Amino acid sequence: MAEPKKPPKVDLRRIEKIIASYRGQRWALIPLVQEIQEQVGYIPPQVIPRIAGALGLFPSQVQGVVTFYAQLYTEPRGRNIVRVCRGTACHVRGGKSILKLVKQHLDIEEGETTPDMEYTLETVACIGVCALAPNLMINKETHGDMNPKKVARLFGKKEKE
Binding residues (CB under 6 A) for ligand FES: these are 85, 87-90, 126-130, 133, 135
Burial zone of 5 (CB within 10 Å; 0-12 exposed, 13-18 middle, 19+ buried) = exposed
Identity (one letter) of the amino acid at 11? D
> Which residue's CB is nearer to ligand FES, number 24 or number 128?
128
Specify whether the CB–CB gap between 47 and 14 falls below 8 A. Answer: no
Specify whether the CB–CB gap between 146 and 135 falls below 8 A. Answer: yes
> Which residue's CB is nearer to ligand FES, number 39 or number 88?
88
Identity (one letter) of the amino acid at 16? E
> Which residue's CB is nearer to ligand FES, number 116 or number 122?
122
Specify whether the CB–CB gap between 126 and 87 falls below 8 A. Answer: yes
Distance, CA of 153 to CA of 89 (rounded, Å): 23
Distance, CA of 95 to CA of 112 (rounded, Å): 19
Closest residue to ligand FES in the complex (CB): 87
E strands in 68-135 = 80-85, 119-124
Distance, CA of 22 to CA of 15 (rounded, Å): 11
Least Cβ distance, residue 87 to ligand FES (angstroms): 2
> Which residue's CB is nearer to ligand FES, number 127 or number 151?
127
> Which residue's CB is nearer to ligand FES, number 28 or number 130?
130
Least Cβ distance, residue 72 to ligand FES (angstroms): 25
Least Cβ distance, residue 88 to ligand FES (angstroms): 6
Least Cβ distance, residue 151 to ligand FES (angstroms): 15
Least Cβ distance, residue 136 to ligand FES (angstroms): 9
